[in-house]
Amino acid sequence: MKISWLSTLRAIMTLVYFFAWLSAIGAPISIILFSSGVESAFESLGIKIYNVHWTFYGVLALSIIGYWLFLAMIHHLRKASYRITPYRFMDTRIERHFYYAGLFCVVGSLVTKVPAVIYKYTTMAIVKSNKILLNDVSIDFGFSFDSFMVILAFGIFLIIISKIIKQSILIQEENDLTI
């Protein structure tokens, strides 16, 4: 029995899409947990932030928006995986799906990480004065699969792939017109 890489990709993307929906639906519940005092901190792309200032809820809302942008990225990658066939991998719709997936990836990571970093460093004095233990005082960009830089590079890479597909479609159209 031969396993197709394309079938495996489609199955994985469907599974990830399902769990991304669950996460995106459950994310707004966190606002209720934080406003009721059940939780006091959350981690956003490797940055732990504490509920010590009213702007915390803005950072939390942007993090939730980041979840929804992640869901949109997975949606477009899933659409592209179902659109690709062994005989069709250069298509304007595939190009568009890769472009939007990359765009949602870049914007989502920026919307999630940048406000969390700004919040963390502007509230560090409050956190220290409340004697909350700080696990890390620096930004951990990390170099693993959940790294901010890896996520940004992945999004930009998807945009570049969409541009390559677009250029190859134009070359194919020009080639079809020549005699």
Token representation of residue 106: 């870049």
CA-nearest of 57, 140, 81, 27 to 73 is 81
pLDDT tens per residue, range 90-118: 889 999 999 999 999 999 999 988 888 88
For a pLDDT cut of 90, what percent of the chain falls above it? 37
For a pLDDT cut of 70, what percent of the chain falls above it? 83
Q: How far is CA 34 from CA 31, 37, 38, in A?
A: 5, 5, 6
Structural domain range at position 99: 5-177
**163 in Cβ contact with 94 (< 8 Å):** no
Q: Which residue has the higher pLDDT, 143 or 37?
A: 37
**94 in Cβ contact with 80 (< 8 Å):** yes
CB count in 10 Å sphere of residue 107: 16
Mean pLDDT calculated for residue range 21-31: 83
Q: Which pLDDT score is estimated for 74?
A: 95
Q: What is the 8-class DSSP label of residue 85?
A: B
Tally of domains within the chain = 1
> Is residue 28 over pLDDT 90?
no
**What distance, in Å, lies between the first and last C-alpha atoms of the chain?**
43
